[in-house]
Chains A and B, each alone.
Chain A
């Protein structure tokens, strides 16, 4: 891929020459422009030229659809403190040169504008933004860093205290929420909101208007800054429990904007990024982002075969999980769907919920009413297999009992010989029940991106290709897994659950077992997850894992009690400190990951990491679980070797 450059053209106008700069890498929109070392050098030499000339105004814009997607993240892994500091300083110096230009400078935000792209735009005297822009954000905090090219200082000065805190800290922590043009304009990021047609021409016209005496902009009132930051700090506490440093540092820097001048603010950003970026959480987040945004998107292990068209889907089972899956299939695939369960009122409830969910989407304005009615009309269900014969894909989501599933598949195979038969089993073997492939979804289905795509020795390429294709159309991320009990997520998590249950049996409290994992920064307490998944389900999974690996998955009286709706009774009175519980849980997980990697359940440690990030809510700032276990020495002591083997992530 070509590097990003700053291309300068001179435009003769009635008011004098205008400098028209384009941020471009000569690639199409699928390869957004980013600012790495080379690009900053290009900016420096372009600024030399601009500072030498006698311009009336300057307009900086991007190639079609992309203004600038920020710093080049390929340069982040493995940075030292000095390199990080230097990177921040170079950006400060260059962007400060833009701010110092003695004529109006307009950033014409024509497309996606992220991170450093926003900071570049903020250093211009004015900004226009196109209504077509749907990606305007500083997602650095989501990546374990913060905007270190002046963002923490300029955003509050431009748009005020509360909006700045929301933009720099809260949005990234809310599934990396981005702004659209209208929202960005309303918050004060741009002076003009323009239509996409003729956007550059009109931005030039705006710049020329400004030559007649630019309005001096008053800085926002920052008197409420300390309060806004204090409130944000406690919200961040709720979300990351102090385990991720980036949002706190960002808040400190934003708070400083009220008292420091810009030069000092820049120095503080440099100090903070030098400390943060080489650190474990930032490096882990960057690794996790790469896994989830690039690697998992491609689909590792997708065979070269052609996917079969899926024009009708059947779902066996109409419980809560099956209902969620049915809704997902209906919304994304928009094909006729038929449900089956043993009891008619369960089916009726499921159908009602599916239709109700469509109506809720319509009420939120996310779905066209007429289309929703049509979709409601193509989903049906009953207690027989009527309607399953012409399905292209049938997904089984009944109770986790092998004999029941075997019977379902035997019946389906006979009455729907053309269909691909898939199972949503969480712990049983796909091959033993007679299914073609596993498609394992996670709870809650609308939110969890992961689908474990389980291949058996008999899964042929066309079936697998279809499974991948369907997963993509459902807008989920697939990870290819070999048929083995618990696949990845449940296998690893059940070891953790096992340790925590043993702690309860030894006299620890639920608060202590929860704290053992929350202190790592996991987003949800294990007891809450257990309640959501259902203790009977979790116990069932444990029993299945126990049958497969009895030594490592002992049965748990505590979990059995919870499954029966009772309080677990401690068997001994030897509670252990929370830190020890954390260590033991992580060690158990390391041990199990070692085993499943040895067994070849997934192709690489990166797949394990992806599964835990996308299916178990493992936070980004812990990055991949395997580099984390390596970094903390747990892999070495438990498994005797690194699991991920990524040097820059294990440096301590």
Chain B
């Protein structure tokens, strides 16, 4: 077996993230067409990559049905115009779909099965609501294997508030305000313009451009959030304002062997250092990234202080605050989600992972002094994922 090779992240893009449902911008757009769009844009932006060198196309979706059901990686490759010689696959790890596409693709590169991999995810939650096409095994309830609240993500967020009563609704609301205002700034200042690919889409009003995340609410304030209803539990703490909405979106990134990047004259922004997955109590799924973070740092022989940027998913503010509490990071820490997160832009389940990486990659470029960065998220049914990256912009800056 060849020696493990270094894997680098060259570039990543996403569609705008739209509101799921008939009032959303992507309502009349197929999920696979959204994936095709981001693949084509990625290849345009990285014209030095010969498509025939792509060794695999790995695409994730949670609902492997309908317009996102035909072995996405392969069908999208063909639909995007990649040569027939490029294979593809589809995978599912719910919220960590795209992240797992990256780790799977990285595995292929590191062992030499591929030199270049496209990895991403798509979720059209408007066409495929969570759990809609899934049949739960009656054993879960009959044998009390899992608490019933575990199937409703919002209920697990309420459970987190129960478990950590020091994290109040006010704390969650304050975090939500921060996320929204940072996201607003990020649209002004360019990171979003850098990573979001405008897409022409059909709608009941004819063609229009999907070019801006539909959940952005820069005017979000504590007063505005205070009296929102708590749909997951009467008298609860989790609201639409301090959670990520149901979203449609697609993402993709380009991974390569470091030596291939050199060969082709590419400019990778970060190197994959390590990754880890972990399992936790399903009814407290938000805890997932805590053990995953610890494990990946241990693998790399690093501590949290060595990490200069965090991109953490925000399905619920309480989940982020739980991670902060668990690993020892102040929620107001500048290192954490500097460009806002899912509370502002939404969380299309399987697509989110690469959005985090694209934002981290941008952050690395803005902060060449930062050496390591972390992308992490929680996953339904009680899991967590964390990927550690090294900033290659430093090297270029040093050149």
Contact = CB atoms under 8 A, between A and B. Distances in A.
Interface of A: 65, 131-132, 196-197, 311-312, 334-336, 368, 370-371, 373-374, 377-378
Interface in B21-42: none
Contact of A65 (B142, B165, B233, B234): B142
Nearest to A337: B235
Contacts of A196: 139, 142-143
Contacts of B163: 370
Contacts of B159: 370
17 contacts: A65-B142, A132-B139, A132-B142, A132-B143, A196-B139, A197-B139, A311-B234, A312-B234, A334-B234, A335-B234, A370-B159, A370-B162, A370-B165, A371-B162, A373-B162, A374-B162, A377-B165
A371 B235 CA distance: 13
Contacts of A335: 234-235
A368 B163 CA distance: 10
A199 to B, nearest CB: 11
Contacts of A312: 234-235
B161 interface: yes
B165 A373 contact: yes
A65 to B, nearest CB: 7
Interface in B151-197: 158-159, 161-163, 165
Given A132-B143, A334-B234, 20 more contacts: A65-B142, A131-B143, A132-B139, A132-B142, A196-B139, A196-B143, A197-B139, A311-B234, A312-B234, A312-B235, A335-B235, A336-B234, A368-B162, A371-B162, A373-B162, A373-B165, A374-B161, A374-B165, A377-B165, A378-B234
Contacts of A373: 162, 165
B235 A336 contact: yes
Contacts of A65: 142
A311 B142 CA distance: 28
Nearest to A311: B234
User: Which of A312, A335, A336, A370 lies at the interface centre, i.e. has the most chain B CB atoms within 10 A of its CB?
Assistant: A370
Nearest to B164: A370
A370 B162 CA distance: 5
Nearest to B233: A334
A370 B233 CA distance: 14
B369 to A, nearest CB: 41
A196 B162 CA distance: 31
A312 B234 CA distance: 7
Contacts, number: 33
Contacts of B158: 374
A444 B159 CA distance: 32
A370 B149 CA distance: 14
Nearest to A392: B234
Nearest to A379: B235
Contacts of B142: 65, 132, 196
Nearest to B137: A197
Interface string B216-242: 000000000000000001110000000
A590 B186 CA distance: 81
Contacts of B139: 132, 196-197
A209 to B, nearest CB: 25
Nearest to B165: A373
A197 B165 CA distance: 37
A95 B163 CA distance: 53
B249 to A, nearest CB: 32
Contacts of A370: 159, 162-163, 165
B160 to A, nearest CB: 9
Contacts of A377: 165
A70 to B, nearest CB: 21
A286 B158 CA distance: 45
Contacts of A371: 162
User: Which of A65, A131, A132 lies at the interface centre, i.e. has the most chain B CB atoms within 10 A of its CB?
Assistant: A132
Contacts of B233: 334
Contacts of A334: 233-234
Interface string B111-143: 000000000000000000000000000010011
A351 B234 CA distance: 19
A131 B143 CA distance: 8
User: Which of B139, B161, B163, B234 lies at the interface centre, i.e. has the most chain A CB atoms within 10 A of its CB?
Assistant: B234
Nearest to B161: A374
Q: What are the 8 closest A-B residue pairs judged by CB atoms, nearest first?
A: A370-B162, A336-B235, A378-B235, A335-B234, A311-B234, A374-B162, A132-B143, A370-B163
Nearest to A336: B235
Interface in B294-321: none
A312 B165 CA distance: 21
Contacts of B235: 312, 335-336, 378
A65 B159 CA distance: 30
User: Which of A335, A371, A374, A377 lies at the interface centre, i.e. has the most chain B CB atoms within 10 A of its CB?
Assistant: A374
Contacts of B162: 368, 370-371, 373-374
Nearest to A313: B234
B370 to A, nearest CB: 37
A336 B235 CA distance: 6
A135 to B, nearest CB: 12
B283 to A, nearest CB: 10
Contacts of B165: 370, 373-374, 377
A371 B147 CA distance: 13
Contacts of B161: 374
A438 B380 CA distance: 44
A372 to B, nearest CB: 9
Contacts of A131: 143
A308 to B, nearest CB: 13
A377 B162 CA distance: 10
A247 B293 CA distance: 62
Contacts of A368: 162
B19 to A, nearest CB: 25
A131 B234 CA distance: 35
B285 to A, nearest CB: 15
Nearest to A196: B143
Nearest to B143: A132
Nearest to A369: B162
Nearest to A310: B234
B200 to A, nearest CB: 42
Contacts of A374: 158, 161-162, 165
Contacts of A311: 234
A613 to B, nearest CB: 30
A619 to B, nearest CB: 33
A154 to B, nearest CB: 29
A637 B138 CA distance: 56
B357 to A, nearest CB: 34
A191 to B, nearest CB: 21
A28 to B, nearest CB: 10
Contacts of A336: 234-235
Nearest to B144: A132
A132 B139 CA distance: 9
A196 B163 CA distance: 30
User: Which of A65, A312, A336 lies at the interface centre, i.e. has the most chain B CB atoms within 10 A of its CB?
Assistant: A336
A521 to B, nearest CB: 38
A371 B236 CA distance: 11
Interface in B202-216: none
Nearest to B160: A370
A368 B234 CA distance: 18
A65 B139 CA distance: 10
A132 B162 CA distance: 28
